[in-house]
Amino acid sequence: MLTRVLMKGNEAFAEGAIRAGCDAYFGYPITPQTELLEYMARRMPELGRVFVQAESEIAAINMVIGAAASGARVMTSSSSPGISLKQEGISYLAGCELPAVIVNVMRGGPGLGNVAPAQGDYFQATKGGGHGVYHSIVLAPASAQEAMDLTALSFDLADRYRTPVMVLADGVVGQIMEPVVLREYEKAVDLPAKDWKAGYNSGRKKNIILSISLEPEVLEGRNKKLVEKYDLIEEREVRWKGHYLEDARLAVVAFGTSARVALTAVRMARAEGLAAGILRPITLFPFPEREIAELASRVDGLVVVEMNQGQMLEDVERVAAGKVGVRFVGRLGGMVPSPEEVLAALRGFEEAAR
Amino acid sequence: MIETAAQLVFRRPRSLSTTLTHYCPGCTHGVIHRLVAEAIDDLGLLERTVLVAPVGCAVFAYNYFEFDGVEAAHGRAPAVATGIKRVHPELFVFTYQGDGDLAAIGTAEIVHAAARGENISVVFVNNAIYGMTGGQMAPTTLVGQRTTSTPTGRELSRAGSPIRMSEMLATLDGPVYMARTSVHNPAAIRRAGAAIRRAFACQKAGLGFALVEVLSTCPTNWGLSPRDSLRWLEDKMIPHYPLGEFKMTPAAAAL
């Protein structure tokens, strides 16, 4: 029987990780994700697993590197300023091809900003973030349930592709309290063996985990291998969810909390006779390019809703390629857009058409 | 006719690979590598050792040993080692770090690994300069010492005084063993080897954090011959960095 419990998003990330067999968690307190760390602090030792409160986000991500290098399922979490500090380590994870899960509960920025919900780290998360040629897989939960489910999924994706996976949520998803179904997560049975891991080197060639290649020809080869991996991920791992898209004349594209607000706006639009729908990317990298391109070719207008100045907007515009008008609704600094603002943008298309 | 039985008195440690090193002529990294390999052989740890290599001259250290390795970002080796050791307590995990790595960019990581009493070992090679990048001031550069970033010599008023990491870390409760050694002559090398062995034995016995600082030469960036470098180490470095054991718990002493 499935158990339904009332849970905070931040706790759901943690519980999802635990249920996915996370062996070790390393973190540093920062609002608005600290409940995640506190949950791990309580549960991981009870389960005989590793919890370390690190001296900094930098140390935490490097502990993640060590644990991942020796074959563990491992996670860290933080919020925007702390995630900036982790970028060096995430670049090393990508370069060393190490699996790890990083949760970012985004807050207002730049700089210290505030502790209110935001989505200003979209560029950083989806385009690389640290130095060099790489991507992380990026998943964007919009509810406490998805916080749990997508975190659990992240461990399989990380192991399958030997890559860092970021769960990119905003402060609302971290702080919201809502019912969550506690599921059992079966680890995928076809994951590759971690025969590359460091430790226990008897009877085999030594394993070295590194990202350094001084010869440009060699590094180019490694870079190309990464790029091929990202191509494969783009081909196989796109995830998204649509509502009311079948007969839609207008469509919203939004992720996370913005998508929940936008869904309300879409229903309001439907109630007043506007054929609106919504496409919510669940993976931000890989980005649902084909689906959005297809949408762009058949609707009369797209509205992108974000809690930033228009970051995913650039990807939507790139994919829409001028086939349809794209409008933007965004709030900044920790403000959340209202359904009315989104509805107004949808109406704007209708009025322009008249 | 006299019959003689061939007796092996000297050979390459099993833990040391046959790969030629990239180190400059006269550099003492090679000697320290050998001491590390001898200690690991001696303690029977080869099959379960993981080296965490630094950024700096020893960035390719994993090429010169027969055990597994992880290449850390600059200064982060103690955090990486913590991650490995916490998930696999039965592995033998040590970091090999230079002075820039450990005493400048990685001060937070080394201090906190020591404070937590992580059951890892640290070999800290102090040659008072940044070698890999071509001879800039290190946190351990002596006052008055010329480097490419202190062309007229390190000035106390502007760059402060060189850090004595071993003494500083010995103030913490976490470490069980903390020593400074040198490799400027055979007697010193022997003592350095014994200290490294004791530090590694601490981890094997589950005692906790141990660190051995090894004063080392950099003939290339000091602008001295290998022989003069050994003299400079003895005459200039040891007065500022006294050799000795700064921390030894009774359990560490019993090893």
CATH classification of B29-253 is 3.40.1190.20, yes or no? no
**Could you give the maximum distance between any two Cα atoms of chain A, in Å?**
76
Side chain identity at B239, as an amino acid letter? P
Inter-residue contact A25 to A198 (CB < 8 Å)? no
Task: Show residues of chain B in contact with A59, CB under 8 Å.
Answer: 76, 79, 82, 108-109, 112
| CB neighbourhood size of A336 (10 A) | 18
Cα angle at A340 between A338 and A342, to 5 degrees?
A: 80
Instruction: For residue B80, give the nearest of A66, A207, A212 by CB distance.
Output: A66
- Give residue B135's region: left, alpha or beta (phi > 0; psi -120 to 50): left
**Is it the case that residue A234 has pLDDT exceeding 90?**
yes
Q: Is A68 on the interface with B (CB under 8 A)?
A: yes
ipTM: 0.96
Q: What is the mean pLDDT of chain B?
A: 97
The reply to whether omega before B13 is within 30° of 0 (cis) is no
DSSP one-letter string for B187-234: HHHHHHHHHHHHHHHHHHTT---EEEEEE---HHHHT--HHHHHHHII
SS3 A173: helix
Positions of CATH 3.40.50.920 in chain A = 240-353
**Is it the case that residue A202 has pLDDT exceeding 90?**
no
Q: Is B108 on the interface with A (CB under 8 A)?
A: yes
Residue of B68, B109, B112 best to disrupt the A interface, most CBs of A under 10 A:
B68
Q: What is the mean pLDDT of chain A?
A: 97
Cβ contact, residue pair B112, A59, below 8 Å = yes
Residue A13 to residue A167: CA distance in whole angstroms: 9
Positions of CATH 3.40.50.970 in chain A = 3-193+204-236
Cα angle at A214 between A211 and A217, to 5 degrees?
A: 100
**Is it the case that residue B155 has pLDDT exceeding 90?**
yes
Parse chain B into domains and list their residue ranges.
29-253
B31-47 pLDDT tens trace = 999 999 999 999 999 99
pLDDT at B2: 67
Task: Show residues of chain B in contact with A88, CB under 8 Å.
Answer: 73
Q: Is A92 on the interface with B (CB under 8 A)?
A: yes
pTM of this structure: 0.97
Q: Which residues pair with A77 in a beta bridge?
A: A103
User: Across the A/B interface, how many CB contacts are shorter than 8 Å?
Assistant: 128
Task: Show residues of chain B in contact with A62, CB under 8 Å.
Answer: 72-73, 76, 79-80, 83, 109
pLDDT confidence tier of residue A1, bands split at 50, 70 and 90 = low
Q: Nearest 5°: phi and psi at A208?
A: -120, 125
Q: Which two tokens stand for residue A235?
A: 């081909």
Instruction: For residue A67, give the nearest of B49, B87, B112 by CB distance.
Output: B87
| CA-closest candidate to residue B32, choices B47, B45, B48, B51 | B51
Q: Is B67 on the interface with A (CB under 8 A)?
A: yes
pLDDT at A120: 98
Smallest Cα distance from A315 to chain B, Å: 32
pLDDT confidence tier of residue B232, bands split at 50, 70 and 90 = very high
Instruction: For residue A206, give the nearest of B48, B68, B108 by CB distance.
Output: B68
pLDDT confidence tier of residue A292, bands split at 50, 70 and 90 = very high
CATH class name, domain A240-353 = alpha beta
Smallest Cα distance from B80 to chain A, Å: 4
Q: Is A24 on the interface with B (CB under 8 A)?
A: yes
Inter-residue contact A8 to A144 (CB < 8 Å)? yes
CATH number for the region A3-193+204-236 comes to 3.40.50.970
Q: Is B109 on the interface with A (CB under 8 A)?
A: yes
Instruction: For residue A69, give the nearest of B49, B66, B84 by CB distance.
Output: B84
pLDDT confidence tier of residue B1, bands split at 50, 70 and 90 = low
| CA-closest candidate to residue A136, choices A99, A172, A169, A171 | A99
Q: Is B49 on the interface with A (CB under 8 A)?
A: yes
Task: Show residues of chain B in contact with A58, CB under 8 Å.
Answer: 76, 79, 108-109
Residues in CB range of A131: below 8 A, 6 or more apart? A87, A88, A91
Q: Which two tokens stand for residue B109?
A: 């990581």
Q: Nearest 5°: phi and psi at B160?
A: 70, -170
| CA-closest candidate to residue A140, choices A289, A255, A305, A290 | A255
Average pLDDT, stretch A124-151?
98
pLDDT at A350: 79
